[in-house]
Amino acid sequence: MQYLIEPDNTIEEAWGKIAVNHKRTLIVIQEGKVVGSLSDGDMRKAILAKRLLNTPVREVMNINFVSLTEDEREKAEKLFVTKDIFLIPVVDEGMNLIDLIIRHPQT
């Protein structure tokens, strides 16, 4: 999926996915569980810090990411605006990915 990436993928692979998805963010998944997020800003910071494009995503991903549970979905629109984010993973109590809520242009 164009919004997901694994921790062992590289920054270069992440750039390619973000170029396609136009949401400036990827959700990092490991064995079906959400373990982080990665924004174009995270990658720019890594490159400015002299990280190579073959650096694994796990080394630059954000582990303090926004997620919601099924019963919190109504909070998504406010979070999109207040956090200036474009993707919110919906997870269960074990952080297993259930769904993605995607910010649309009018939001």
pLDDT along the chain (107 residues), means of 10: 96 95 95 97 95 96 97 96 96 98 78
Sign, CA dihedral 9-94-24-103, equals positive
Instruction: Please tell me the distance from the alpha carbon of residue 37 to that of residue 26, in angstroms, as a whole number.
Output: 6
Residue 13 has a CB neighbour count (10 Å cut-off) of 17
pLDDT value for 1: 80
pLDDT value for 6: 99
pLDDT value for 106: 62
Q: Which two tokens stand for residue 56?
A: 């694994």
Instruction: Please tell me the distance from the alpha carbon of residue 11 to that of residue 93, in angstroms, as a whole number.
Output: 29
Give me the domains of the chain, ranges plus CATH numbers: 4-102 (3.10.580.10)
pTM higher than 0.85, yes or no? yes
